[in-house]
Chain A
Amino acid sequence: MKLRIPKALAVGAVAAAMLATTTGCGGILGGGGSSSSADTGPIKIAAVIPLSGSSAPTGVYMKNGMQMAVDEINAKGGVLGRQLSLDLEDGACDPTQAAAAANKAVSNGALISVGGYCSGATLPTLPIFNKANIPMIIPAANSQELVNQKLPNVFMINGTGTQQAAAAVKFMVKDGVKSVALVDDNTSYSKDIATETKKDLASDGSVKVALSTSVTAGESDYSSAVHDIMGANPDMLYWTGYYQEGGLIINQLKAAGFKGKIMVADGSVDPSLVKIAGSANAEGVFATMTQTPDTIKGAETWIANYNKKFSSAPGPYSTQSYDAVRVAAEAITQAKGTKGADVIKALEGINGFQIFSGPLKFTPEHTLSSGGFQILVVQGGKFVLKDALS
């Protein structure tokens, strides 16, 4: 991936240059701004999210959440008198495709971006939007690597991997776990949480890491990982990957007679995890997760509206995606325009804007000041709140 970035940068630079030329022309020709999309007409909001591939189910939750916010804002007259229009591009949770999608969004005239689910695929889109001076509000992707890029246009409204790891460790200590096995799927997001958890556990000292290993995503048979976990015999397994593999690993671990506790990270929090693992096997599985619609107090009306609009229930990241669009609208309103630098300044200045995870204020690193991670547990086949950790 490191090798790919310069190429993406180059492509991004070309796209940005093209964009600059076209808007420049529009400015000269339009004068009053009849054809230029930068000043009048709908405000283009881009979102690179997975609409195909194995993460596509979550992409639908995100898409609906965004659409809902856009429709609500437009119904109230839009932002600065202009309507919002959503430009969804398929990143397929794949770095190459996501970079291409981001370039397409930039050349489509995006003014702000609210996409980003898989951290590995979101990473190469950061410099592309940065070159084009487009602010990004990332609703879901939360690897520490995204923060480490230190790009001024990147804001994250999901808790980071570091914050998630801290929550996981806090719960392990609280729950009296003495040894833990960390298993990731070798993706940027998953590895990040596992590494941060290991670091936190080392500094805490009361929980031993019995095993730390990786599996290959997209397979069906995880018997070798199961064998390693059984051999290490930990009190708890912490799986930091996504739900498809998570479900299979839980199923195969239980079939092998694993008696310890199991905890999964937020990428595994999905109703499908329970189905794949089998509801008896998934019962009692813990999860580190930011607020989902089900666990937020007072979200019932919102859920009902969502149900009515899309004839399906909201899922993970529906709320964050909804909030990303609202935060974008708020920032543009505050900035009194869509100029990248102004919007970034407005985002940095936001203080107390209500989103699902609480009043919003960005840290100097452009992350949430508190991750808002809580512990869920599977009960009766559903994820319910176990411990808010506050």
Chain B
Amino acid sequence: MTQLVWNGLFVGSFYALIALGYSMVYGIIKLLNFAHGDIYMLGAFVGFAMLTSVGVIPASMSITALLIVLLLCMVVTGGIGVGIEYLAYRPLRNSPRLAVLITAVGASFTLEYGVSAVAGPNPKVFPVRLEGDSFTVLGARISVPQIVLMVIAVLLMLGLNAYIQRTSMGRAMRAIALDTKGSLLMGINVNKVITWTFFIGSALAGAAGVMAGAYYGKIDFLMGFIIGLKAFTAAVIGGIGNIKGAMLGGLLLGLLEAFGSQWLGGEWRDVFTFGVLIAFLTLKPTGLLGERVTERV
């Protein structure tokens, strides 16, 4: 039982990190950025390229090296996210919503098969793998790498929350989410804020990608697809556009999967999970924390 809870929370923290980017972007420009899951994949590949170019890393240094690579990857994937927004979404800012949605799907395929063409379609094995002892707490087996990754994820989420609540850029994001035109009239540089939103969202997804690569050990160019869908589900469950909702939704989705698979068997897990998504969308389309007139982001 405690093992299930722990498993659920651990996977859920990955979902939450990616769901944040979905939710932030949706909150501000009402776009479902389907390329977001592929930014996660890109983060893993950028980290892979950095670590392999460094060469052999002594085991004692692996955590330090990984943290440095994590930060660098966040900058790179953040930059790529900004680039995608600039090239693919900004020119369509005033087009019908559907056009941007299709462009997002296009951006997703471009990233996937671009990486496949550059890095090859074979799965890659991450050069640094987080390994450590595990111990038992209340009957749940918990390993040191899991704790390290959970701590990083929680720190990133807390940092983001503080950034949105406390800084002027965060205030500007919230303002745009409420009323874009009004913000523009109040002298907020809307384009700059949207650029920052993409940067932060993509950096978080990139961080999740590096962490997944280091923990699970295998990366491939389609790894972002399913987790992207799951993160989207998490964002909807939590109330899309709501930052705390995305975090809560991610953790909840992780728990739903763990228990769904336990109760109904592995083959029914996704039926159960996505059944919950449908139920949420029909019964409470605003999600757990979303409100009809909500302060988005």
Contacts and interface: CB of A to CB of B under 8 A. Distances in A.
A255 to B, nearest CB: 7
Contact of A223 (B10, B125, B222, B226): B10
B180 interface: no
B11 A52 contact: no
A52 B216 contact: no
Contacts of B267: 186, 213-214
Interface in B220-236: 220, 222-223, 225-227
A102 B19 CA distance: 39
Interface in A254-309: 255-257, 272, 275-276, 278
A219 B258 CA distance: 14
B217 interface: yes
B161 interface: no
A164 B242 CA distance: 51
Interface string B238-280: 0000000000000000000110011001110110000000000
Interface string A39-81: 0000000000000111011000000000000000000000000
A276 B217 contact: yes
Contacts of B182: none
B174 interface: no
A160 interface: no
A247 B270 contact: no
Interface string A241-252: 000100110010
Nearest to A186: B267
A363 interface: no
A224 B217 contact: no
Nearest to B257: A224
Contacts of A186: 267
B216 A216 contact: no
Contacts of A255: 134, 143
Interface in A111-152: none
Nearest to B122: A57
B141 interface: yes
Contacts of B4: 224, 227
Contacts of A223: 7, 10-11, 258
Contact of B261 (A228, A247, A251): A228
Contacts, number: 90
Interface in B139-188: 141, 143
A224 B261 CA distance: 6
Of B14, B134, B143, B261, chain A has the most CB atoms within 10 Å of the CB of B261
A221 interface: yes
Contacts of A251: 216-217
A213 B218 CA distance: 23
A367 to B, nearest CB: 28
Contacts of A225: 261, 266
B39 interface: no
A215 interface: yes
B269 A216 contact: yes
A369 to B, nearest CB: 34
B129 interface: yes
Contacts of A53: 121, 222
Interface in B191-232: 212, 216-218, 220, 222-223, 225-227
Nearest to A272: B123
Contacts of B222: 53-54, 218
B3 interface: yes
B62 interface: no
A30 B34 CA distance: 53
A220 interface: yes
Given A52-B116, A216-B226, A224 B121 contact: no
Contacts of B143: 255
A215 B266 contact: yes
A227 B7 contact: yes
Contact of B227 (A219, A247, A275): A219
B123 A278 contact: no
Contact of B123 (A224, A228, A244): A244
Contact of A275 (B14, B125, B266): B125
A251 B143 CA distance: 14
Nearest to A277: B217
Nearest to B3: A227
Contacts of A247: 218
A183 B11 CA distance: 21
Given A223-B11, A225-B266, A257-B141, A218 B261 contact: no
B129 A278 contact: yes
Interface of A: 52-54, 56-57, 183, 186, 213-216, 218-221, 223-225, 227-228, 244, 247-248, 251, 255-257, 272, 275-276, 278
Given A215-B266, A216-B270, 20 more contacts: A53-B222, A54-B123, A54-B222, A56-B116, A56-B122, A186-B267, A213-B267, A218-B225, A220-B216, A221-B11, A224-B4, A224-B258, A224-B269, A225-B261, A227-B4, A227-B262, A228-B261, A244-B220, A251-B216, A272-B125
27 contacts: A215-B266, A216-B226, A216-B269, A218-B226, A219-B226, A219-B227, A220-B227, A221-B10, A221-B11, A221-B216, A223-B10, A223-B258, A224-B4, A224-B262, A225-B261, A225-B266, A227-B258, A228-B262, A244-B220, A247-B218, A255-B134, A255-B143, A257-B141, A272-B122, A276-B125, A276-B218, A278-B217
